[in-house]
Every structure is written in C-alpha cells, then in structure tokens.
Amino acid sequence: MADSKVNVLLVGSGGREHALAWKLLQSPLINRLYVAPGNAGTEDYNISISATDIKSLTNFAKEKGCFTIVGPEIPLELGLVDALESELLITFSPSKEEARLETSKSYAKQFMKSNHIPTASFDIFNDYGSALDYCRDKEGNVVIKADGLASGKGVFVCTNLKEATSALKTIFIERVFGDSGKIVVIEEKLSGYEVSLMAICDGKNASPFGTAMDHKRLLDQDKGPNTGGMGAISPALGFDEKQLENAMEKIIRPVVRKTGFKGFLYAGLMITEDGPKVLEFNARLGDPETQALLPRLRSDFLQSLLDITEQGLDSAEKELDWDSSYSCCVVMCSRGYPSNAEVGFPIHGLEDAQKLDGIFVFHAGTKMRDKNLITSGGRVLSVTAKGDTLSDASGTAYNAVKLISWEGENHRSDIGRTAPF
C-alpha cells in the first residue's frame, strides 16, 4: 500500500478537474498538487501550462517528480502519457493508442464489431455523396457521428432526410469539426435509456468505478442540441448490480484484456430491450458525471490510484468505498453555449450558495479578474448536492442554483426531477 507523500500534476480546467482536485486534496498522501491550467476553483494550485502543451507538462512533471492524472481527452490524443512514460514518470491515464477508443469513433466501432461487443450496427464513410445515398436509403432515420473529437457536439440524432442532409453538410462541407469530420460513422438508431458506466482499469483487469446518468441535451425534456453535458445524477437509475456485472463482463473487461487499457474507461451505454449496447467509449472520467460521482466516494481516491499503479487492481479495488446517497449535479452555463458562449460576466451569489448544507460547487469556465469571479467558458459551474433520495439531492442542488446568477446564465430545470426513462 502506498504510504509516502507524492506530488500530483492534474491536467485540465473543467468541472471534472475541480472535483478531482477537491477529492485528491483530502488525501493525507498528497504533498503538492499542481493543476495545469485549472480554473478559479483551483486557483491556489494552478500553474500556467496549457493542457495541450505536452513538452512543458512533461518537463514540469519531471522537474517536480509528479504522479500525473489527465482529466480531458485532448492531451491523451496528443500523446501526453506516452511522453511522460518515456521519461519513466508514473501516470494513471491511457496512452495515445489506448485512447483511440475515444479519439476515433470509426476505430472504436470496428474494434467492437471484431470483438463482439454489443453496439449499434453501422457503416463508415469518407465522402458526402455516398453518405447521403446511405441516409436516403434509411430515410434519414440514422445517427451521424464525426469520427474524431468534437467536445460532445459531433453527434446528430436524425429523424428525417432533411436533418441527415444538414448534419452531413455541417461535417463534410462546412467542415465545422475540421479533420475530426474527415470520416463519418452512420449508425442504426437505438432506443432505450442511457447509463454512464465508469470503470477503473490496470491494463489487465477492471472494476466498476460508479455509474451515473448524463443529460446531454441543452434544454429540458432532452430537447435542443447535444452539449458536453448539462447535468448528471449518480448512481444511475434502472441499472442494478446484476446489470452492472453483466456490462463489466461483456463490455469493459474484454476491452481491457484486448487493449491493455489503464486508467478510467467510460462506456456510454444504451439499455435496450436486448441488453446494454455501447454508444461510445471515453478514455477518461465523464464531465459532469465526475462532479456527481466523487462526492459519493468515501475512501482515499489518491491512495487507490497509487496502489493500482504500483500493485495492480487486486488490492486497490477493495479500498474503494462509496456511500449510499444519491447525488445530483446541475450545470450552469453561459448564454450561447454550446455554439458561441458569451463570457466575461461577474458571477454573483456563490458564497451564499456554498453556505447551504451538502452543496459542492465545482468551477469550470471561471476566472478571476481584478479580484472578481467572472465567467470564461461555456459550462461555468457544476452545482452538486447529495441526499437520501434523488429528489432531496435535486431539491438542494436547485436551491443553490437559485442563489447564483450572472448575465445570460442558463441551466436545465429538470435534472434529477424527472425519470430519464
């Protein structure tokens, strides 16, 4: 069991990273925490290195002898873990190759097909004309996905040919997602309800690391465009221990055995009448799922990560201890998100909100300007509350949300309030 103090470098600047920093700081094993580049919520720990500056991050980790944890996907795609490991530095995140499960949807789909992992049927296209012909055949009743990373915005669930044509134009002709849209995956549309299953993996085996339900659409009742996530509840509803173990055996563990994946593996599942099917893999924890999940973790998070890295999963999985509460996280965002967020507005009421019992306010798009807290991104704050019931958790979260404001603030009002299925 790890017992000496460590310096930790946490890479990222979202709500997920503030939640990770908050949890890591509770560990007696932490010596220094550095967050690159962080946000106003992690101000005391921030270093001014961008999450995409692989060389500077590696040099910094080397100089301070850091254990590195990577929050978002882009540094994974840019090979941060490979660079750190080539310097013999320890990390708990996947390599560039392992992260392809997230960074290329066409790779992930082909991987699932060859390894009999349940997922929607699909075809892959690299030109507008043949993709459009295919959509015509399906009368536009398809899901169209840009192959590469698009911050959760490159997926179009279409109901008719007009919508499908517009999605293909956005990706292939307007090239809104740049090279991420060079290839397109077109999938069969699944129905059911969605569960985010997170697993902790040591390269050989995997254990569950909690479940959640994300709310990806911008507007109440799952209307409007897809976003990075407008709120989350944890644990997932309608997903019992038996279903969890089944998904671990049929989906997560085969992936880990085949790819040697280490770090957090996230499977976005659709629970269909034929069982769970994978909508996507992420090579990291979810945002905002992490903000709902981590307040429910009682045990020492850093201790588990170090033990897994040093000794494998066997000893560490026994240490993970979750409370039996429900949690609800409401994302407060800027006017214009997810397309063009308007930023730079002072945030009011945060101190009052934080005084409420059982409230955790995690920052994302925030920064300090002349000692004032201002908005600086699309998703600004993740307001999480815990409760004995989901309805308690949701009620408390919304009591806090009511106290916080800025010009153009926007949030969903139904997180944890209506059953997602």
Using CB under 6 A, list all residues that contact ligand AMP: 120, 143, 145, 152, 155, 157, 187, 189-190, 194, 216, 226, 268, 279-280
Q: Which of the choices ligand AMP, ligand GLY, none does residue 187 contact, using the CB cut-off of 5 to 8 A by kind?
A: ligand AMP
Q: How many residues does the chain have?
A: 421
Please say whether the beta carbons of 12 and 51 come within 8 A. yes
Shortest distance, position 291 Cβ to ligand GLY, whole Å: 10
- Cα separation, 110 vs 185, whole angstroms: 10
- Cα separation, 301 vs 27, whole angstroms: 7
Q: Which of the choices ligand AMP, ligand GLY, none does residue 71 contact, using the CB cut-off of 5 to 8 A by kind?
A: none
- Cα separation, 246 vs 281, whole angstroms: 17
Please say whether the beta carbons of 204 and 149 come within 8 A. no
Shortest distance, position 180 Cβ to ligand AMP, whole Å: 12
Shortest distance, position 271 Cβ to ligand AMP, whole Å: 12
DSSP β-ladder status, 184-188 and 155-157 = unpaired
Residues 209-228 that bind ligand GLY (CB under 6 A): 214
Closest CA to 177 of 368, 339, 358: 339
For ligand AMP, the closer of residues 27 and 226 by Cβ is: 226
Q: Rg (Cα) of the chain, in Å, rounded?
A: 21
Task: State which amino acid sits at residue 411.
Answer: H
Task: State which amino acid sits at residue 75.
Answer: P
Binding status of residue 77 toward ligand GLY by CB under 6 A: no
For ligand AMP, the closer of residues 101 and 256 by Cβ is: 101
Q: Which of the choices ligand GLY, ligand AMP, none does residue 279 contact, using the CB cut-off of 5 to 8 A by kind?
A: ligand AMP
Among 242-250, 283-291, 330-338, 393-401, the segment contacting ligand GLY (CB under 6 A): 283-291
Shortest distance, position 283 Cβ to ligand GLY, whole Å: 10
Binding status of residue 118 toward ligand GLY by CB under 6 A: no
Among 141-149, 284-292, 318-326, 398-406, the segment contacting ligand GLY (CB under 6 A): 284-292
| Longest Cα separation, the chain | 62
Shortest distance, position 364 Cβ to ligand GLY, whole Å: 12
**Token pair 């103090």 in the structure block, residue:** 5
For ligand AMP, the closer of residues 147 and 300 by Cβ is: 147
Q: Which H/E stretch holds residue 280?
A: strand 275-282
Question: Cis peptide leading into 420, omega within 30 of 0?
Answer: no
Helix (H, G, I), strand (E, B) or coil at 397: helix
Q: What values do phi and psi take at 258, rounded to 5?
A: -75, -35
Shortest distance, position 144 Cβ to ligand AMP, whole Å: 9
Q: Which of the choices ligand GLY, ligand AMP, none does residue 226 contact, using the CB cut-off of 5 to 8 A by kind?
A: ligand AMP
Q: Which of the choices ligand GLY, ligand AMP, none does residue 287 contact, using the CB cut-off of 5 to 8 A by kind?
A: ligand GLY
Q: Which of the choices ligand AMP, ligand GLY, none does residue 282 contact, using the CB cut-off of 5 to 8 A by kind?
A: ligand GLY
Closest CA to 14 of 385, 286, 355: 286
Shortest distance, position 282 Cβ to ligand GLY, whole Å: 5
- Cα separation, 261 vs 319, whole angstroms: 21
- Cα separation, 136 vs 16, whole angstroms: 40
Q: Which of the choices ligand AMP, ligand GLY, none does residue 100 contact, using the CB cut-off of 5 to 8 A by kind?
A: none
Among 55-63, 285-293, 303-311, 322-330, the segment contacting ligand GLY (CB under 6 A): 285-293
Handedness of CA 35, 25, 295, 363 (dihedral sign): negative
Q: Which of the choices ligand GLY, ligand AMP, none does residue 194 contact, using the CB cut-off of 5 to 8 A by kind?
A: ligand AMP
Please say whether the beta carbons of 153 and 225 come within 8 A. yes
Number of Cβ atoms within 10 Å of the Cβ of 90: 16
Binding status of residue 229 toward ligand GLY by CB under 6 A: yes
Q: 79 is written with which tokens?
A: 């090979």
- Cα separation, 108 vs 99, whole angstroms: 10
Handedness of CA 352, 393, 241, 271 (dihedral sign): negative
Q: Which of the choices ligand GLY, ligand AMP, none does residue 286 contact, using the CB cut-off of 5 to 8 A by kind?
A: ligand GLY
Q: Which of the choices ligand AMP, ligand GLY, none does residue 189 contact, using the CB cut-off of 5 to 8 A by kind?
A: ligand AMP
Instruction: Pick from 37, 79, 118, 152 the residue near ligand GLY by CB under 6 A.
Output: 152
Number of residues forming the site for ligand GLY (CB under 6 A): 7
Binding status of residue 307 toward ligand GLY by CB under 6 A: no
Where on the chain is the footprint of ligand GLY (CB under 6 A)?
152, 214, 229, 282, 286-287, 289
